[in-house]
Amino acid sequence: MNEQVFVAVIGSASTDAEYAALAEEVGREIARRGAILVCGGRGGVMEAACRGAKSAGGTTVGILPGTDRREANAYVDIPIVTGMGEARNAIVVRTADAVIAVSGGYGTLSEVGLALKMGRPVVGLRTWELNREGRPAGGILEASTPAGAVRLALERRKPA
């Protein structure tokens, strides 16, 4: 059987042009490497990553918080409705072999925490830094470029 690799891209549902460009390049690189992009399926970083993946011929999966497939962004190939709201974040990271966080708010932070708890590698691209009692807690692998983030995610992936 041909093993499919799933990489989640997580980040804010609304973003600026700078982070959207980073996410789009991450999505493009995921597709170039033959992996399937998984995300929350809506706007912002998620939409930009999906747009990038589609521009490179990739496949995208959107794990949606609501009950209507039409809430997915235009670049999602496979919309999965959950009716779970933010609890769907657990499905996003559980589905992935590795997670790439681009910027992000508290929803992204919850996905980072869930991914680390589940043993999924998390690569950060200008995202959260974790500290415990004032000291770096580790956990998030830092990348400085979209290509570096995808390379690191694929090297460290743990099949779901």
Which two three-digit tokens encode residue 118?
């589940």
How far apart (Å, rounded) are the C-alpha atoms in residues 10 and 159? Answer: 18
pLDDT for 83: 97
Distant-in-sequence, close-in-space partners of 32: CB < 8 Å, separation ≥ 6:
56, 58
Q: Which residues of the chain have pLDDT under 70?
A: 1-2
Q: What is the pLDDT of residue 2?
A: 61
The pLDDT score that the predictor gives to residue 110 is 97
Q: Which pLDDT belongs to residue 109?
A: 96
pLDDT of residue 137: 86
**Which of these, 106, 111, 105, lies nearest to 90 by C-alpha position?**
111
Both tokens of residue 49?
Answer: 């990553």
> Domains of the chain by range and CATH?
6-156 (3.40.50.450)
Q: Is 44 left (phi over 0), alpha (psi -120 to 50) or beta?
A: left
